[in-house]
């Protein structure tokens, strides 16, 4: 390069000057928007692909069904997202859902079910369900934060405890006696023409987004996930907030469990099924980082929509259920790989 091509500072134009800065800024802007739009584009492509295989996919009835199903998974994905932000996860979420379902149904049956005052029965179910969930979340939080046990081991242990509790108190059978008032409150009701499940998911999502972005507790979770040692040095009560995070996770799972119990009409000891895997998959696919410190309500909701559309499309196209499990497991692995690539690219 000749001297004529050098600036007064001895640097070539476009390397460190404004032109190069502008190009770098533009490239960064493009990459940021590409990452943000990748999943919405994938959602549309998924819908379009399944629509080519079965035209029932895009009917108004099925789209409303997808929205309702995604509402349940969105709650569970948001629950997982809260603890994933802190570099953890909750394998006990599915069994917690089963335990809450059975506990709430037993509370309603014990009060006479449909024969008792409807609102009192609903209140008893809500109280019993949240009490069980909070106890499970508190256990997970204490074991992880105060005893220093890894989230994998801690929630694996509580997963088996919750399964045992749900099976024992129900004798392994569905618990009947769910009154119409309960179903109306959490399943069949609607507000402004929207099914109650969708309304609950929107309200909870908005409230959680506010907590994560506008409160000290929410912002602290991101700091803990990014660098827990630095958070402790900065005076953030890391252990206490970790306990709160696991309690919040279980509480959100309890709400979803009550909604699913209203849908099934009974307390089911196997209601949780593969929800732990599905919720983690939804959170990770949506963009929540397993390394902690990155994610949000939008990532959980988009991930839940992706998993729900995929499941709905595979059901309508009659793909075997065991194959669907393989696909779900592959999606979790793919999500982790993409997350690792994103971290290495930063």
**Helix, strand or coil for residue 222?**
helix
> Looking at the domain assignment, is residue 195 inside a domain?
yes
Long-range pairs, 31-39, Cβ under 8 A, ≥24: 35/287, 35/342, 39/285, 39/286, 39/287, 39/302, 39/303, 39/306
- In the chain, % of residues over pLDDT 90: 64
pLDDT at position 16 over 50: no
The DSSP 8-state label assigned to residue 147 in this structure reads S
Percent of the chain at pLDDT exceeding 70: 87
**Residues 122-139, mean pLDDT to the nearest whole number:** 96
| pLDDT confidence of residue 336 | 79
Whether the predicted pLDDT of 2 surpasses 70: no
Residue at 133 is within a domain:
yes
Q: What is the mean pLDDT of the chain?
A: 87
Q: What is the pLDDT of residue 271?
A: 94
Average pLDDT score over residue span 210-214: 96
Q: What is the CATH number of the domain that holds 129?
A: 1.10.3470
Paired with 191 in beta bridges are 194
3-state SS of the chain: helix, strand, coil percent to 5? 75, 0, 20
Asked if 81 and 209 count as a contact pair (C-beta separation under 8 A), the reply is no
Q: Is residue 25 part of a domain?
A: no
Domain assignment present for residue 263? The answer is yes
Answer yes or no: is 17 within a domain. no
Residue 43 counted as domain residue: no
The alpha carbon torsion through 239, 241, 246, 252 (nearest 10 deg) reads: 180
Average pLDDT over residues 307-320: 91
pLDDT, position 302: 93
Q: Supply the pLDDT for residue 31.
A: 57
* pLDDT number for residue 128: 96
Residues 200, 45, 85, CA angle at the centre, nearest 5°?
50
User: Which residues, other chains included, contact 141 with Cβ-Cβ below 8 Å and sequence gap of 6+?
Assistant: 242, 243, 244, 245, 246, 247
Q: What is the pLDDT of residue 15?
A: 38
Query: Please, are residues 266 and 258 in contact by the beta-carbon 8 Å criterion?
Result: no
215 to 207, 209, 212, 220, 228: CA distances (angstroms): 11, 10, 6, 8, 18
Whether 226 is covered by a domain: the verdict is yes
Which domain covers residue 211, as residue numbers? 55-345
Residue 25: the pLDDT is 46
pLDDT digits (tens, 9 = 90+) for 220-234: 999 999 999 999 999
What is the four-CA torsion angle of 43, 339, 244, 187, rounded to 10 degrees? 20
- Looking at residue 117, what is its pLDDT? 65
**How many domains does one find in the chain?**
1
Closest CA to 155 of 101, 241, 232, 83: 83
**Contact residues for 99 (Cβ-Cβ < 8 A; gap 6+):** 132, 133, 136, 162, 165, 166
With a cut of 60, say whether residue 323 has pLDDT above it: yes
Q: Please choose, from the candidates 183, 338, 11, the residue with its C-alpha nearest in 3D space to the C-alpha of residue 3.
A: 11
pLDDT of residue 3: 43
Decide if pLDDT at 4 tops 80.
no
Is this prediction's pTM over 0.85?
yes
- pLDDT at residue 325, as a whole number: 86
3-state secondary structure (DSSP) of residue 190: strand
Does the structure show a pLDDT above 50 at 9?
no
Q: Is the pLDDT of residue 19 over 70?
A: no
Q: Is residue 35 part of a domain?
A: no
342 vs 330 pLDDT, higher one? 330
């Amino acid at each position: 390069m000749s001297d004529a091509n050098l600036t007064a500072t001895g640097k070539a134009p476009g390397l460190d000057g404004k032109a190069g800065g502008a190009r770098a800024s533009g490239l960064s802007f493009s990459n940021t928007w590409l990452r943000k739009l990748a999943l919405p584009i994938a959602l549309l492509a998924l819908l379009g692909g399944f629509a080519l295989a079965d035209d029932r996919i895009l009917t108004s009835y099925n789209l409303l069904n997808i929205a309702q199903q995604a509402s349940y998974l969105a709650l569970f994905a948001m629950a997982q997202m809260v603890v994933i932000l802190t570099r953890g996860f909750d394998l006990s979420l599915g069994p917690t859902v089963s335990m809450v379902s059975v506990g709430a149904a037993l509370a309603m049956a014990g009060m006479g079910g449909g024969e008792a005052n409807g609102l009192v029965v609903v209140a008893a179910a809500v109280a019993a369900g949240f009490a069980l969930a909070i106890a499970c979340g508190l256990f997970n939080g204490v074991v992880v934060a105060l005893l220093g046990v890894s989230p994998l081991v801690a929630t694996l242990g509580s997963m088996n405890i919750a399964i045992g509790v749900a099976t024992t108190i129900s004798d392994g059978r569905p618990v009947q006696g769910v009154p119409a008032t309960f179903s109306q409150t959490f399943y069949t009701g609607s507000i402004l023409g929207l099914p109650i499940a969708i309304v609950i998911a929107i309200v909870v999502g908005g409230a959680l987004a506010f907590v994560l972005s506008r409160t000290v507790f929410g912002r602290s979770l991101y700091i803990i996930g990014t660098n827990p040692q630095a958070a402790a040095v900065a005076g953030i009560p890391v252990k206490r907030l970790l306990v709160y995070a696991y309690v919040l996770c279980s509480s959100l799972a309890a709400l979803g469990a009550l909604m699913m119990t209203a849908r099934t009409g009974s307390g089911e000891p196997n209601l949780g099924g593969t929800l732990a895997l599905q919720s983690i998959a939804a959170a990770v696919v949506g963009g929540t980082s397993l390394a902690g410190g990155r994610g949000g309500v939008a990532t959980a909701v988009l991930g839940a929509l992706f998993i729900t559309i995929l499941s709905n499309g595979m059901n309508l196209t009659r793909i075997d259920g065991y194959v669907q499990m393989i696909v779900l497991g592959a999606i979790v692995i793919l999500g982790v790989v993409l997350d690792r690539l994103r971290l290495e690219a930063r």
